[in-house]
Structure 1
Amino acid sequence: MSNISIKSPADIEGMRIAGRLGSEVLDYITPFVKVGVTTGELDRLCHEYMVNVQGTIPAPLNYCPPGYTPYPKAICTSVNDVICHGIPGDKVLKDGDMVNLDITVIKDGYHGDNSRMFLVGKPSILAKRLSEVTYECMWLGIAQVKPGAHLGDIGHVIQQHAEKNGYSVVREFCGHGIGKVFHEEPQVLHYGRPGTLERLEAGMIFTIEPMINAGRREIKEMGDGWTIKTKDKKPSAQWEHTILVTETGYEVLTVSAGSPPPPAFITEASQAVTA
């Protein structure tokens, strides 16, 4: 337990700012995600916005965990059957594509990490449904967060909702603690059993970022050392927020003017609690 850091009020304020800025990059890039744009152009635009407008540092650029080559770009662009860590380049977005843009900025040493799905042109019913169910999975996980709850509670509701809808949960990648370090303890699994794993305490900050596959959960790694795809070539979706455990529940730190609203069932539940 001791290796999970409890953030100070100053840390929390720094993380609020970084989280908002991370979300604002997604707001900024939204109108550019359309048929005909390359993933490399989206990366260039985000990079320039972070550095020149926000004065933030793109955390992924040259990020190099042990056993990896340095990541070469400022954002991750994962299209269709790419689960995560897609490297921006010459790929042109086509009508019906789905793409996850994963953005992490560093501001004054603090990391703001979030991602959103974008549906390009006229998406299929499957693409819309997969993105929607994944979004619900993320929010169901977020709604579990409060002091005394367990990390297993988060994974359990995500896995239940995904599998009930005929989808599968990627197991090799998970959410993570975050602060002045990009990836720290705890690991936040998106599957599991209620009442298991670490107990949550006020002041913890971590991401919830389920990766949900339309087909089977098996993955394959591409030769670039980063890109992860579904083994059965079926599409995958992911949504991500950074969450603070508060004294009474949770606070989503990666919010901005353009953030998609929580699903109705979340809003209704919180209204019932305050009523």
Structure 2
Amino acid sequence: MAKGPIQFKTEEELELMRSSGKLLAQAHGEVASLVKEGVTPRQLDQRAEEFIRDNGALASFKGYKVGSSVFPYSLCLSLNDVVVHGFATDVPLKSGDIISVDCGVYYNGFHTDSAYTHAVGEVAPEVAELLRETKASLYLGIEQAVSGNRVGDISYAIQNHVSRKGYGVVRELVGHGVGRSLHEKPDVPNFGKRGSGPMLQTGMVLAIEPMINLGKKDVMQDKDGWTIRTRDRKPSAHFEHTVVVRKDKAEILTSFEHIEKAVQ
């Protein structure tokens, strides 16, 4: 994924990242207010891009390159069995769908990254539970993002919570450092052993992002070169925050506050 050494942020740089995270949280709120039956993913994408640009920022994902392939949208919009990197389509959302909205903002020279999986209308009880438990695992992982711990402590906390529920933990995709580049070291898997991996130190900024499947862990990639979906075609949930490693308690730079207000 990312190359090079871990980038530690100064307090001045973290202040700039806070402003990026705040704008990202507001962009999520704008999108969340539109998520309902009959709305298309493309409409969500257009609203996010509009809002981000109107506020003097750029959507981190649009134009992002992997080899010769370029991501064409401002949001990764992943519906039902799509884990991540889904494309904005013109197919209207319907009751019972879930859709992960993954958004990145580049503002004041820094990226922040956050994702939230929405239920559309009435979803099956087991799917609603998948969303609740995946979100809970995110915060359990964040609790471990303190100096002196290791990346594996985050990974274990996430895996331990969701595995007890019988869910599949995606192996091929991981969280990551974030800052002047969208993807920086270290990688942050959602599975692992306590006490393993790089040491966490104050000033590291991590995008922690559980990607959890209702069924098995196995995934596949569509022919578009981006869309990742579950091999068994069962639903997948994705929640993500950008956080700063601190001495006693991680600082969350992004927020779900605007989302939760919009969906009340």
In structure 1, distance between residues paired with 2:213 and 2:257: 29
> Aligned residue for 2:74?
74
**Structure 1 contact 21–112 (Cα < 8 Å) conserved:** no
How big is the shift at 1:71? 0.3
In structure 2, distance between residues paired with 1:196 and 1:259: 34
**Structure 2 contact 105–112 (Cα < 8 Å) conserved:** yes
Structure 1 counterpart of 2:45, from 27, 43, 46: 43
> Aligned residue for 1:195?
195
> Aligned residue for 2:10?
8
Structure 1 residue ranges without an equivalent (≥5): 262-275
Letter aligned with residue 178 of structure 1 = V
Structure 2 residue ranges without an equivalent (≥5): none
Runs of 4 or more off by more than 3 Å in structure 1? Answer: none
How big is the shift at 1:68? 4.8
Q: Secondary structure at the match of 1:106?
A: strand
> Aligned residue for 1:63?
64
The 5 A counterparts of 1:246-265 are: 246-255=246-255, 257-258=257-258, 260=260
Q: Secondary structure at the match of 1:55?
A: coil
How big is the shift at 1:91? 2.2
When normalised by structure 1's length, the TM-score is 0.91
How big is the shift at 1:154? 0.7
Structure 1 pair 68–165 and aligned structure 2 pair: CA distance change class (3 A) = farther
In structure 2, distance between residues paired with 1:49 and 1:258: 14
- 1:94-145 deviation per Cα after TM superposition (whole angstroms, max 9, x unaligned): 1110000001011021112101111001111011101001001111100111
How big is the shift at 1:89? 1.6
How big is the shift at 1:259? 5.2
**Structure 2 contact 114–254 (Cα < 8 Å) conserved:** yes
**Structure 1 contact 68–225 (Cα < 8 Å) conserved:** no
Aligned residues: 258
When normalised by structure 2's length, the TM-score is 0.95
Structure 1 pair 128–68 and aligned structure 2 pair: CA distance change class (3 A) = farther
Q: Secondary structure at the match of 2:114?
A: strand
Over the aligned positions, Cα root-mean-square deviation in angstroms equals: 1.3
Structure 1 pair 259–201 and aligned structure 2 pair: CA distance change class (3 A) = farther
- 1:156-176 deviation per Cα after TM superposition (whole angstroms, max 9, x unaligned): 111111110010100111110
In structure 1, distance between residues paired with 2:120 and 2:259: 18
> Aligned residue for 2:104?
104
How big is the shift at 1:179? 0.4
> Aligned residue for 2:245?
245
